[in-house]
């Protein structure tokens, strides 16, 4: 499991208690340049994966936070890309 900044780690633990299953956060590398992160709630765990190949310092923190929020809100699956991440909001397509 990834080492998270203390506030994010506290949030991960709180959501793990809320959902009564471990919340696993791990970095992955994908060939998709638009992929940012994914949430998958499984019977025995909550899995949050984020793209590690993206350039930038701590760019993944808001992605992980959004996926934790979605898990806490009851979502069971979600995938974030460059166009739908909270910190990279784009204007709606016309």
The ranges assigned to domains in the chain are 6-84
State both tokens at 31: 């060939």
Encode pLDDT of 59-90 as tens digits.
789 999 999 999 999 999 999 998 755 544 44
Which pLDDT belongs to residue 92? 45
Collapsed DSSP state (helix, strand, coil) of residue 61: helix
Distance, in Å, from the CA atom of 47 to the CA atom of 11, rounded to the nearest integer, reads: 14
Q: At 56, is the pLDDT very low, low, confident or very high (cuts 50, 70, 90)?
A: low
Encode pLDDT of 22-52 as tens digits.
999 999 998 888 899 999 999 999 999 999 8
Is there a contact between 8 and 31 (Cβ–Cβ < 8 Å)?
no
Burial class, 42, CB count within 10 angstroms (exposed 0-12 / middle 13-18 / buried 19+): exposed
């Amino acid at each position: 499991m990834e080492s998270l900044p203390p506030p994010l780690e506290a949030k991960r633990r709180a959501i793990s208690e809320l959902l009564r299953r471990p919340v696993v956060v791990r970095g992955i590398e994908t060939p998709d340049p638009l992929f940012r992160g994914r949430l998958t709630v499984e019977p025995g765990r909550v899995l949050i994966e984020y793209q590690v190949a993206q350039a930038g310092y701590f760019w993944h923190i808001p992605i992980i936070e959004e996926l934790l929020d979605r898990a806490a809100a009851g979502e069971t699956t979600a995938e974030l890309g460059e166009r739908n991440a909270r910190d990279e909001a784009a204007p709606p397509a016309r």
